[in-house]
Chains A and B, each alone.
Chain A
Amino acid sequence: AQRVTQPEKLLSVFKGAPVELKCNYSYSGSPELFWYVQYSRQRLQLLLRHISRESIKGFTADLNKGETSFHLKKPFAQEEDSAMYYCALNSGGSNYKLTFGKGTLLTVNP
């Protein structure tokens, strides 16, 4: 069965510090992974997907199949990065049925 694990419920860093939000997955097929973000009073929205291999708002995430991980990283955190972050795994093939992790609340302190 598919599973997404985000081991940290809360993560607090200072502005300018590096940040890494951890995500591990369990899936028997070829994984397709995403990071979604929910800022305060805003809708949940896509941050990035591993297939596109892009950097969004300074965040990057690399799929490591050997370690079954898809950690989200940013070298210098900003206060506006404070939000709830969800890692998600597509377990539905072309139907795109996403399984979400439990989320990590990131707080960037001034």
Chain B
Amino acid sequence: NAGVTQTPKFRVLKTGQSMTLLCAQDMNHEYMYWYRQDPGMGLRLIHYSVGEGTTAKGEVPDGYNVSRLKKQNFLLGLESAAPSQTSVYFCASSYGSRGQNTGELFFGEGSRLTVL
């Protein structure tokens, strides 16, 4: 099992460009999350999904859009990138049903995005 895979791992964008980060998990998890990690700020939740076809806003959703068309994939989009979106982005997944869900999030390796 690959677990949680994020692509790309590195990307440099110019202000105003758009891009999509892909997260794929092979653990049949219901829940998926996108976090951003910034120095001195810890991890902050951008958007999350509790199942295929559902998405919800997290703590810092502005400037991002997400889609969960397939259970195993969770896409994070930046329509018009800004320098403030320079960050390391982490995708995570977890079990869905209360009985299975221990609250453990399984993380990807991260995607480093630089916006010039």
**Interfacial residues, chain A to chain B (CB-CB below 8 A):** 6, 9, 32, 34, 36, 43-46, 49, 51-52, 86, 90, 94-103
Contact = CB atoms under 8 A, between A and B. Distances in A.
A1 B43 CA distance: 17
A90 B94 CA distance: 13
A15 B110 CA distance: 30
B103 A102 contact: no
A94 B110 CA distance: 25
Contact of B50 (A49, A86, A95, A99): A95
Contacts of B105: 36, 44, 46, 96, 98
A49 B104 contact: yes
22 contacts: A34-B103, A36-B105, A43-B108, A43-B109, A44-B90, A44-B105, A44-B107, A46-B105, A49-B102, A49-B103, A51-B103, A52-B102, A86-B42, A90-B103, A94-B98, A96-B31, A96-B103, A97-B48, A99-B59, A100-B35, A100-B43, A102-B40
Given A44-B90, A97-B48, 12 more contacts: A9-B40, A34-B103, A43-B107, A43-B108, A43-B109, A44-B43, A51-B103, A52-B102, A86-B42, A95-B50, A97-B33, A98-B45
Nearest to A38: B107
Interface string B68-98: 0000000000000000000000101010001
Contact of A96 (B43, B94, B107): B94
Contacts of A51: 103
A12 B90 CA distance: 27
Nearest to B90: A44
